[in-house]
Amino acid sequence: MKKVVLLNKQPHGTPKLSDFKITSEEIPTAKDGELLLKTAYVSVDPYLRGRMKEAKSYVPSFELNKPIQSGVIAEVIKSKHADFKKGDFVSGNLDWKEHQTSNGKGLHKVSSSDAKLSSYLWCNILYNETKVPLGPRLQPIILTKSATMRGFIIGDLSEKFPAATKQLTSWLNEGKIIFTETIVEEFDNIPQAFLDLFEGKNKGKMIVKI
Range with the lowest mean pLDDT among 67-76, 88-97, 137-146? 137-146
Structural domain that includes position 43:
2-130+180-209
Output the pLDDT for position 126: 45
Dist CA 7 CA 191 (whole Å):
10
Provide the strand spans (E) within the chain: 2-7, 20-25, 35-43, 69-79, 89-95, 99-102, 108-110, 181-185, 205-209
CA–CA distance, 75 with 39 (Å, rounded to integer): 6
pTM for the model stands at: 0.81
Instruction: Provide the percentage of residues in the chain whose pLDDT is more than 90.
Output: 59
**95 falls within a domain:** yes
Within-domain flag for 158 = no
The pLDDT assigned to 166 comes to 84
Strand 89-95 versus strand 99-102 pairing type: unpaired
Each residue of 125-136: pLDDT tens digit? 444 455 555 566
Please indicate, yes or no, if residue 184 is contained in any of the structural domains. Answer: yes
**How many domains, in total, are found in the chain?**
1
- The neighbouring-strand residues paired with 183 are 207
- CATH code assigned at 40: 3.90.180.10
pLDDT digits (tens, 9 = 90+) for 134-179: 566 666 667 667 777 777 777 777 788 788 888 888 898 888 988 8
Which is more confidently placed, 156 or 104?
104
Least confident among 56-70, 97-111, 144-158? 144-158
Nearest to 191 by CA among 26, 9, 34: 9
Name which of 57-61, 97-101, 118-122, 165-169 the model is least confident about.
57-61
Band of the pLDDT at 73, cuts 50, 70, 90? very high
Residue 173 within a domain? no
- The Cα 171–Cα 119 span in angstroms is 12
Give the pLDDT score at 168. Answer: 86
User: Residue 199 domain-assigned?
Assistant: yes
Measured from the Cβ of residue 196, the count of other Cβ atoms closer than 10 Å reads 16
6-19 pLDDT tens trace: 999 999 889 999 99
In-domain check, residue 46 = yes
11 part of a folded domain: yes
Output the average pLDDT for the chain. 87
Contact between 15 and 168 under an 8 Å Cβ cutoff? The reply is no
Residue 28 within any structural domain of the chain: yes
